[in-house]
Structure 1
């Protein structure tokens, strides 16, 4: 069966490893084209108007709204617009577009600010914006396996966390409406460090513009955004080594969704979270939970019960057997016992599992319902499409992505026009792959090549004893699994008392399928906890 390392290249969008093949072509960190000293100056007053006057003035649209949320009626201001990033000479380098929601019926002085972004790299922030915590929410005709043709719905999000925190949804350069300045090569922003530096510049400017330097500050990143969230603390604080700017900005919390923090590409395939046997064993809980959802597992209980039972077996007898198998010491009786338990738990036959006692997630997605002519989704394994006539595109042909993407994009664009009154003569890029993925620079300045992104969080927590971390995962996410998220963070030895884990009966977008309210409640509690 497929090696555990081969699935890295198959994860594509969510894990950000899509550029592994191009990693060897990534250019070294070049201070001439991606200078860490290029600090953005605050925009002049004439540049923060409604986008009128000078064609170079940033676009800005302000609207006012009310919302019934979490049992109370609130009012808020929505600010959709650009923030100019500048270099040390004052020349514009980029226009980052963001969506700010500020509650207006309370004193904002001590209100938390939550800066939010999605992943890719190459994704805009509309997914978490419309899925769980923004003031508006997409409505699909089914919680799972919805239709992907219009009409799609849009509703007030009564579970939004806007009641307890102001929200800032950020679209990195090359996504959404965000673009490099005229004449500036977008590659200047397309890399782990380059991207984090631009987002840190944006956050610094936002705090100054809105007078929120003394507000509690949080960042939330989903998928590749978990990497961005992990490295941002060092860029927000600043260093003579990493970015050459001392910003002195600390965070109260980091929120990670669809977490992927293993060692970066080029580190020899290892992710720093144990042996091959340990990594293979961590696959089991997710595929067993999936098998149970589709009625193919002998395990009983809800998703949490099934996942826990499978995790206990995976971390015990299964991992031990895999290690013995790889060491050449697994006897026939133990092998047969493990194989029988795997067939009982996963719904696969002994032949489908094979002599190596291992089936990776992508194989499993094609095998589980093959008798019914169906393939399950990697991003959410509750979703299905026919196996036949697949174009074998890892995103467009994924049963989950191809079903929920059209609804999110349509609802977001409708909200732009009808609620936020945004009128721009260019499309909003939900996800942009062209050029960006091939150009993404995975090489980092002054970071050991085998260091995981979880180590960045550990370093940040050492520097900031008040920094807390919230890790949210979906049982049906076969791309960035709950087991991998825990292993990656535990390998970095984070202070356990400051890390909170929550898992949901959902997929990669863990707020889909009836779990949005539960996630919003947990996030609200995290944002308001001392």
Structure 2
């Protein structure tokens, strides 16, 4: 028998790589979390979103909760045992949570808010039964009118990442100090976040199934939700339940997905609109909306790497390997001379024209011979060879470290310098400041990419542009903001431009760019600019709501 929905309670004790290896003749690609199938090389695992070393069991080593001090009013000590394993399944979910009052000073004004940390049970739309016990943290400003107050749902990607990076790195009320693009690992320091979006919107950070403390409810198992369609459906069910429980039906609503979270957003928006839930705005952070059009995802030399050319040029200029040129200049080259030449090259191996090779050399500082031999240059090759003797970061190519050094052993120095602090800080933050503790280990990321069902809408890999099209058809007033980092080698900005261009001319779609990487907000200057752009975007929606 499927369990009935639990009763929500609150109060003390009730409250709520780029390295290639050979594996038996098969080439696998080493990324920050695991080795990948050759057919899914490169961008399949798109975390910005998690990190660390992968394991063979399907999960990574979770973060052990710290010893906590005696309970304070509103705290909650969760004794439920959670599992990130494929077979993980809760027999009886609970909706208890820690509910803590706090405040933050922003521009001389105090904002009082409630932090709610715990679980909410998603209900399967078809069966009406509990399907997933979602772990989430919600920040809600007090003394506001719900009907006029926006609410934004945040989630990272992977697939297999909890919302740790967005939660502690971007626009929550507290954030970890970052020194990106420096390759120096900073001391762990949590500070009040002057770039939080709390002055504009309530914030809900959600962990996907198997990550954090989120787990399937019996008879379902975690693995049942490890696929494009089932994952998005579970998020739909969570969002609908959160809206109903918290009476946010009239609130302006935003979805904020990073990396793999962006295609999840495309599918999720369509599912919600189909279910009658109006979404006012989508934020696509470092997106890959169509896996089929992105080089580095399928087998090498099968798809044009045009989408990477502007990122290569801007990154080489940053490192002093090439003369800086305007973004529009290199974009025009990519869509002009390079596009024509690479199409002929991929179709029949027509030798690249000398003029195109010379321009590629000028833009990147790499020789014409290198470009002749690697005309459809994969991002992993560029990452290893753009600066001799150095490995560039995949998630932020401004970060580099000597090849073979400790910072490069996981294949991405830009991730190594930040990963440990995020993984360790999320649990201590929840225990010490949100006053939620659990007896189980928290899973900031799990190694599930090789178990993930990437098929969607009849294709082996997802193309979510049709989902966006359908969502916009159902709700023409919905607006989209695409956030891009110029130095992101995981989801290059020009490829995002090409994918979104399929939606046609639409003034509701805005693209913004920052001198940063995949997690744009880890750069202090970029985060400040991004906050301004996000506030303007949200205000453009809510002013007419």
Which category of TM-score, normalised to the shorter sequence, fits these structures? Answer: 0.7 to 0.9
Instruction: Find the aligned partners of 2:104 and 2:283 in 1 and give their Cα distance.
Output: 24
Task: Determine whether 1:442 maps to 2:454.
Answer: yes
Instruction: Find the aligned partners of 2:258 and 2:349 in 1 and give their Cα distance.
Output: 41
- Paired residues for 1:31-430 under 5 Å: 57-70=94-107, 72-86=109-123, 92-140=130-178, 142-148=179-185, 151-181=187-217, 184-238=220-274, 247-263=275-291, 279-300=304-325, 305=326, 307-326=327-346, 335-355=353-373, 357-370=375-388, 373-388=389-404, 396-430=410-444
Higher mean C-alpha deviation, range 173-182 or range 151-160: 173-182
Indicate if the aligned counterparts of 1:15 and 1:480 stay in contact, CA closer than 8 A: no
The aligned length equals 467
Using the TM superposition, give the Cα deviation of residue 311 of structure 1 relative to its aligned residue in structure 2, in angstroms.
1.2
Among 477, 501, 516, the alignment partner of 2:511 is 501
Instruction: Find the aligned partners of 1:180 and 1:413 in 2 and give their Cα distance.
Output: 21
Instruction: Find the aligned partners of 1:509 and 1:164 in 2 and give their Cα distance.
Output: 21
Instruction: Find the aligned partners of 1:147 and 1:415 in 2 and give their Cα distance.
Output: 23
- Paired residues for 1:457-468 under 5 Å: 457-468=468-479
RMSD: 3.3
Which whole-Å deviations, capped at 9, do the CAs of 1:69-116 have from their partners, x for residues lacking one? Answer: 255321111000101234577754321000101011332321111111
Instruction: Find the aligned partners of 2:180 and 2:405 in 1 and give their Cα distance.
Output: 25
Q: 1:375 to 1:105 in 2, by over 3 A?
A: same
Among 492, 505, 513, the alignment partner of 2:523 is 513
Relative to the length of structure 1, the TM-score reads 0.80
Indicate if the aligned counterparts of 2:146 and 2:250 stay in contact, CA closer than 8 A: no
Which whole-Å deviations, capped at 9, do the CAs of 1:192-221 have from their partners, x for residues lacking one? Answer: 111111111111111111111011111010
Q: 1:170 to 1:121 in 2, by over 3 A?
A: same
Q: 1:90 to 1:314 in 2, by over 3 A?
A: closer
Give SS of 1:496's match.
coil
Which whole-Å deviations, capped at 9, do the CAs of 1:264-307 have from their partners, x for residues lacking one? Answer: 699xx889xxx978x3332210011110111101225xxxx3x3
Give SS of 2:41's match.
helix
Give SS of 1:218's match.
strand
Name structure 1 gaps, 5 residues minimum: 17-47, 239-246
Name structure 2 gaps, 5 residues minimum: 1-19, 21-36, 49-73, 81-91
Indicate if the aligned counterparts of 2:401 and 2:407 stay in contact, CA closer than 8 A: no
Which whole-Å deviations, capped at 9, do the CAs of 1:361-415 have from their partners, x for residues lacking one? Answer: 2111111122xx211011110111221268987xx32111111111222332332
Using the TM superposition, give the Cα deviation of residue 448 of structure 1 relative to its aligned residue in structure 2, in angstroms.
5.8
- Paired residues for 1:7-22 under 5 Å: 9-14=41-46
Instruction: Find the aligned partners of 1:90 and 1:496 in 2 and give their Cα distance.
Output: 37
Indicate if the aligned counterparts of 2:183 and 2:400 stay in contact, CA closer than 8 A: no
Task: Determine whether 1:456 maps to 2:460.
Answer: no
Instruction: Find the aligned partners of 1:529 and 1:62 in 2 and give their Cα distance.
Output: 32
Indicate if the aligned counterparts of 1:282 and 1:311 stay in contact, CA closer than 8 A: no
Give SS of 1:508's match.
coil
Higher mean C-alpha deviation, range 413-422 or range 496-505: 413-422
Instruction: Find the aligned partners of 1:281 and 1:288 in 2 and give their Cα distance.
Output: 12
Instruction: Find the aligned partners of 2:236 and 2:387 in 1 and give their Cα distance.
Output: 45
Using the TM superposition, give the Cα deviation of residue 231 of structure 1 relative to its aligned residue in structure 2, in angstroms.
0.3
Residue 24 of structure 2 corresponds to: none
Instruction: Find the aligned partners of 1:429 and 1:52 in 2 and give their Cα distance.
Output: 15
